[in-house]
Structure 1
């Protein structure tokens, strides 16, 4: 099963008046579609655009894995554990909320900020919050979440360059920039593919190449 979710179909949210624009792939915040609440362990894939000085005030999280990928600009993270970290393009940021943590996300720089933030359901709830930034993650390097049955793959492809799509019960592909060919479909920046029972699939870069985030997931949420 291959379903393409176009950028134009994402719900537009945020508050443009204060420099925040959000494009939701799933039900999120004030937008609810009972037929579109998650895919595998993934419950959010938001493309956030923050003007210089804009951001999200301190707010809490619990029992969620939050992974962020900066496309352009710089993301400043501050949290209740006393951290203040700047995340740049090519870095992977992970916040495992555990039993609870509060944080702030903002654009403290002078240029527009665009980043993709993805939320996944952990396999075990509770525990201490954890935070990590992997600087300049290499192409093709798998990034496994310790608390969720999921692996993130970063793919950077030249024009016509091919790569295997992971074989997994649930695979989610988000095109960050450029264009991608997958399963006979053409995807552009902001488009995503939801693949059930992925097996033997390949993706290739379009005419200008592509950068894509690929989630490999082997389970669904368990709340019992």
Structure 2
């Protein structure tokens, strides 16, 4: 039970950004996708959610192929983007209702869950607000709440801490831990390597569209021959060689 990315080659044009990338995200694990700007993190995620078509390779989730069964595959995933994407004409309540319809959630159970999430992020009194009324951080919280509503096999999180205050960051990390305990596979792209080092079970380290290293923090220390190095130190050392 896992996400499997195998020999992925792709990008936004005929010249590939990703060059034969392979990795796995197992059920109930949080994997950190780490790399500098332009390394290929967001391109990788855009392929996994189906916004980009691979030039070569395959992507599958629990045996369901994105290429062969896109509708069935996409029902199994949820996504928190780096930049919030909201509909200007819809209230917070209507965004939640749209998410419930898209995933065909049972209404009472879904609203019970939604109200819990809204209280965690202090949005329970903002149900009638439109996106124009929200700050950048509040918009990000709306995206988090919507992504946390359905029970999915894979949660993709792209630079989740941008715009979040320390309290919201803590709340998000607690929710990710809950999802992981419930068996969700989580792939998180982030520049905040100190936090990634603390919360991720393993890492996929990419640079210039290629996998530099793949494994647990202990594995990366062994590969870099730096038994006491931080994740940031390991990454900088590997990318500067």
TM range (shorter): 0.3 to 0.5
TM-score by length of 2: 0.31
Structure with greater contact order relative to length (CA < 8 Å, sep ≥ 6): 2
Higher strand share: 1
TM-score by length of 1: 0.33
